């Protein structure tokens, strides 16, 4: 019994000494251990705004015009022509000498207008087409009704026929000569119709 008691006492003393030495070792280890490394910061989570707040969305503006590709330098000859409906002639360019066109209606009745007109049809700077029209339209401009001239047009028709007979032998080129012949033919028919 005494032996058991002594063994128990020795066990208690041994245990106290063991706990003390464990505390010393723990303290020493705790002092020699480097401080713990700080942990990486956690990312901040941003909560989306409540649904009742207004959200602004950027949109591209709607274009108000259409870009047109500039014409290329290479064009075919057909691209430069003005398209006209079938059966219609191409509209004429405006005259370079509008005064000659105005004088045309008085040719055969007014000597000043006639002189101006003669100068225009012999002007080499005027396009051939314009000179041609100034001569051929002697059967239209200045007459009361070119499709159905009256007797009051007869003196003007005679005067123009005589003028063509004087000028045609001296036509500046083939264009003028052919135009004189065309006008003379039409005026001669008018004259013949009025003298029946």
Mean pLDDT value across residues 24-28? 44
**Largest alpha-carbon pair distance within the chain?**
181
DSSP secondary structure letter of residue 152: G
Mean pLDDT value across residues 45-62? 48
Quote the pLDDT of residue 6. Answer: 56
Mean pLDDT value across residues 14-39? 50
Q: Are 145 and 157 in contact (CB under 8 A)?
A: no
DSSP secondary structure letter of residue 144: S
Quote the pLDDT of residue 52. Answer: 52
Task: Give the pLDDT band (50/70/90) at residue 64.
Answer: very low
Alpha helices in 81-153 (DSSP H): 98-104, 111-121, 128-136
With a pLDDT cut of 90, the percent of the chain lying above it is 48
Quote the pLDDT of residue 24. Answer: 43
Of 135, 131, 138, 151, the residue nearest 108 (C-alpha)? 138
Helix or strand holding residue 194 (H, E): helix 174-194
Higher pLDDT, 8 or 162: 162
């Amino acid at each position: 019994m005494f032996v058991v008691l002594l063994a128990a006492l020795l066990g208690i003393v041994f245990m106290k000494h063991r706990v003390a030495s464990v505390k010393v070792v723990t303290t020493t280890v705790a002092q020699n251990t480097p401080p713990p490394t700080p942990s990486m910061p956690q990312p901040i989570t941003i909560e989306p705004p409540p649904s009742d707040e207004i959200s602004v969305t950027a949109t591209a503006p709607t274009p108000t015009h259409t870009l047109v590709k500039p014409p290329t330098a290479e064009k075919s000859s057909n691209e430069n022509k003005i398209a006209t409906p079938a059966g219609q002639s191409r509209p004429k360019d405006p005259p370079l000498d509008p005064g000659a066109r105005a004088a045309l209606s008085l040719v055969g009745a007014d000597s000043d207008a006639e002189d101006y007109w003669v100068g225009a049809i012999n002007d080499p700077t005027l396009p051939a087409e314009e000179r041609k029209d100034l001569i051929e339209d002697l059967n239209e401009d200045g007459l009361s009704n070119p499709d159905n001239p009256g007797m009051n047009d007869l003196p003007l028709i005679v005067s123009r026929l005589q003028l063509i007979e004087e000028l045609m032998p001296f036509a500046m080129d083939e264009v003028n000569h052919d135009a004189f012949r065309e006008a003379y033919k039409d005026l001669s028919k008018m004259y013949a119709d009025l003298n029946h």
